[in-house]
């Protein structure tokens, strides 16, 4: 595939991932469950893609860098943790931080094992 086409497809996949993340963000309660879910689904997808189906390098790049990258987010995790901290909810802030680190890791390992 031409470099430019890969670049454009990464944009389309990244946009689609972001829309899914925005929709998942509505599952919000005592903790940002939708955010955990988005990051875990993205990590799970990456784990599954790298362990499972045979894809050409270009499609793999589009799906991992584009879709999973757009679906997962570091900045929103920092925002969620900071918002709790700012309102004096230190326990929720800490769980959000640690959860965003470990839950996607578990998702990635599970996806790689269950492929």
Partner 1 sequence: MPNKAKLLGYVFLGGALGAMLRYLIFEAIAGLASYPTYELIALFVVNLTGAFFLGITARYPYFQLETCRNLWGVGFAGSFTTMSALTLWIDYQGLGIEVIAMFAAGFALYWLGFEIGRKAARRQA
Interface residues with partner 1 (CB under 8 A)?
7-8, 10-19, 21-23, 25, 39, 42-43, 45-47, 50, 64-66, 68-79, 81-82, 86, 97, 100-101, 104-105, 107-109
> Least distance to partner 1 from the beta carbon of 61, Å?
8
Q: What are phi and psi of 32, to 5 degrees?
A: -80, 75
Residue 89: φ, ψ to 5°: -95, 80
CB closer to partner 1 out of 78 and 91: 78
Beta strand spans in the chain (E): none
Which is closer to partner 1, CB of 30 or CB of 86?
86
Q: How far is the CB of 97 from partner 1 (least distance, A)?
A: 6
Query: How many residues are recorded in the chain?
Result: 115
Query: Which region, left, alpha or beta, applies to residue 114 given φ > 0 means left and ψ of -120 to 50 means alpha?
Result: alpha
Closer of 11 and 52 to partner 1 (Cβ) = 11
Q: How far is the CB of 30 from partner 1 (least distance, A)?
A: 20
Cα-Cα-Cα-Cα torsion 100, 58, 52, 66, nearest 10 degrees, comes to: 20
Q: How far is the CB of 38 from partner 1 (least distance, A)?
A: 8
């Amino acid at each position: 595939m031409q470099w430019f086409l890969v670049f454009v497809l990464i944009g389309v996949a990244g946009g689609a991932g972001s829309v899914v993340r925005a929709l998942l963000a509505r599952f919000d309660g005592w903790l940002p469950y939708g955010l955990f879910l988005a990051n875990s689904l993205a990590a799970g997808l990456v784990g599954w893609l790298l362990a499972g189906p045979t894809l050409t390098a270009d499609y793999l790049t589009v799906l991992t860098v584009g879709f999973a990258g757009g679906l997962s987010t570091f900045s929103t995790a920092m925002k969620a943790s900071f918002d709790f901290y700012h309102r004096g909810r230190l326990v929720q802030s800490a769980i959000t931080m640690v959860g965003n680190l470990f839950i996607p890791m578990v998702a990635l390992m599970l996806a790689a094992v269950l492929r």
